[in-house]
Structure 1
Amino acid sequence: MTFRGYLELCKPRIAFMIALTAVTGYAAVAPTVDPMQALPLFLAMVLGSSGGAVFNHFWDRDLDSQMARTANRPLVNGAMADPRHALWFAAILVTAGCALAVTALNWAVAAHLFLGAFVYAIVYTVWLKRRTWLNIVFGGAAGSFAILAGAAASDPSLWLLPMLMAITLFLWTPSHFWALAILLKDDYAKAGVPMLPVLVGDARCAKYILWNSLALVASTLLPWAFGALGAVYGLLATAAGGWFLMRNWALVQEPSRDNARSTFLGSMFYLLAIFIAVVVDKHVASLLF
């Protein structure tokens, strides 16, 4: 199999996002951002997330063969002669990520990295995905462990702000993924995957997304309410939350594919805005005010 095929197995965009999430968790609690900590953290999280993604490719290859979006993945189109080789690749990636975390950072980072990969690969992919629409709700904990891993890279004893941010990541995932699931509803229905819009329809799913997003936006304000972050963060988070809820409301008013796509893409910009707000409040605002 080609290098490009192995790279596709790693789901690099998701791996990058998980690593960025971890670095944001690190920046949230670190007095200053030290590249000697941030860089190995980023790389370790890329490796760990990639390992979980490879396992997901292996386990879901039967489902992938039934969906247009995934029908040409490497373990479906025969690019890898024996799909079981992907299990070794996944194990090597997760082991390498944990080893790097332990040697360059600490055991707490490695533990959170492993738990994140475990939740995605086993809890979400193996246990929940084919059984219940709550699959992505609990599967979203994988992103929460990235925040905790990042914070542990600076100081494993600090817990308040990382836990509040982990709650935000936990609540962000359903709003993000349910919007995507509306776009991919036909594929999921064909493969028999019980994603929420398959079970309840687009209109009702849009309402679930809105209610979840209300809880999500409220959770982003908790670090401000508890004094873990300052007013700059609070104002930026409030503005970003209002913007995101407007997109959610548009989807409720008209549960079309265009509005679902807008909500899906908007969720990524919203999360990035929250990350930027954390870094600005922690490392920029203190220099200006």
Structure 2
Amino acid sequence: MGLGYFLSSEEFTPAELIAQARMAEAAGFDRLWISDHFHPWNDAQGQSPFVWSVIGALSQVSTLPVTTAVTCPTVRVHPAVIAQAAATSAVLLEGRFALGVGSGEALNEHILGDAWPPADIRLDMLEEAVHVIRELWAGGFVTHHGPHYTVEHARIYTLPDTPPPILMSGFGPKSIELAGRIADGFISTRPDADAIADFGKAGGTGKPTEAGYKVCWAPTHTEALDIAHERWPNAGLPGELDQVLPSPRHFEQASTLVTRDALAEKITCGPDIDAHVEAYRTYENAGFDRVHVNNIGPYQKEFFDFYRTTVLPRL
């Protein structure tokens, strides 16, 4: 099992993401995840480029596979538009593209004034959206009148030879069951062996399971924790807050309750090689097939050099 790199659209400009993809491939990472957000979680992160434009650029500078982690195809963008964007990405990447989807967060999806539905309805919308996407990828004209979406005589003309796989994120029993039933793979950010088992029981046996996690490299543990606590305190928020808070300002307010010590338990900080290896092993031991790491903060070249020379050889 290799190690992929997780490009953070919330924290870096398009040019920085492209540079990181190049450095990731040169360092020996074997695939890329990229987040799909309209807003960052807080102003300290400070970015939110349009993911489909960045993927187009990535296709020209890297040979690594790319997966969105994750796109919400239900509220902010109609699933027919996501179907076209993903198909074009798969063509540009010559089949090295996978569409990661999830039920989304209010942070990104409320912006057009739509109501933010409860979780059960969001999952129903996601199931219908995936059906619409796959119908359009089949290549014919599609007319669909469902409880959530309407498509009238639509056809996608630019299609890859093989439709890209659809991977689905899940963090509770209902979303994991849906992923096992309709998706081609499972995505998570938690080293949860029980979630993988539940995904398999719901129909996911033999399908790939992928995870992503964050670290923060800096010359010292203290500086790394300072950076992580400034930029990603939201990683320490409990429960469903990340799904229901609608604004970066709300995340900033809630994150004042996250202490440095609490965040240190969530994010590996500093230059200790054993700590970085253990962070990866936690997901490997949980049973994930593919793991992706993201580095928080400004020390990007140093991080990739560190992983190229020390961590990746250990793994």
Instruction: Please say whether Structure 1 and Structure 2 have the same fold, judged by a TM-score greater than 0.5.
Output: no
Question: TM-score with structure 1 length normalisation?
Answer: 0.32
TM-score (norm 2): 0.30
